[in-house]
Amino acid sequence: MLKKENRLKRDRDFDRLFTKGEKAFSFPFSIRLSNNKRPVSRFAVVVGTKVSKKAVERNRLRRQVRETLRLLLPTLVSGKDVAISVQPQAKTMPQAELESGLKKALKKAKLLV
C-alpha cells in the first residue's frame, strides 16, 4: 500500500488534474499528470466499470498497480500529481506484463528516472 503522503484523494486535486493535466498513453494505461508544488509525488489508480462489472476484479487490478508503484517509488520523479487509468485489456494480463506496461507508461510520461 502506498503511504498516505503518496496518495491523491481530494476532489479538487482530481478536477485540476483532469482539466489541466498533461496526458500520456501506453497500453494498457492512460496517465494524467501535473505539478503539485510538494516534495513528494501523489498517485491515484482509476479502474472503471468498463474494465469489469465486478468490484473484486477492479480492486485486484488496483492493488496490483499500487504495489508496482510502491516498489518503483524511489525511482520516480517527485513533485507530481498522477492519475493512472487502467484499460479493460489489463484484466486478462499477468502481473509481469502489467508491471512492464506500467514502467513503459511511466517512462513515456517522463516520471521514471
Place of cell 507530481: 80
Domain regions of the chain by residue span: 4-107
Low-confidence ranges of the chain (pLDDT < 70): none
Radius of gyration (C-alpha) of the chain in whole angstroms = 13
Question: What is the architecture, at CATH level 2, of domain 4-107?
Answer: 2-Layer Sandwich (3.30)
22, 31, 55 from 51: Cα distances, Å: 23, 16, 10
* Sheet of 22-26, strands arranged across: 22-26, 29-35, 80-86, 42-46
Cell of 80: 507530481
Per-residue model confidence (pLDDT) at position 49: 96
**Cα(74)–Cα(53) distance, integer angstroms:** 34
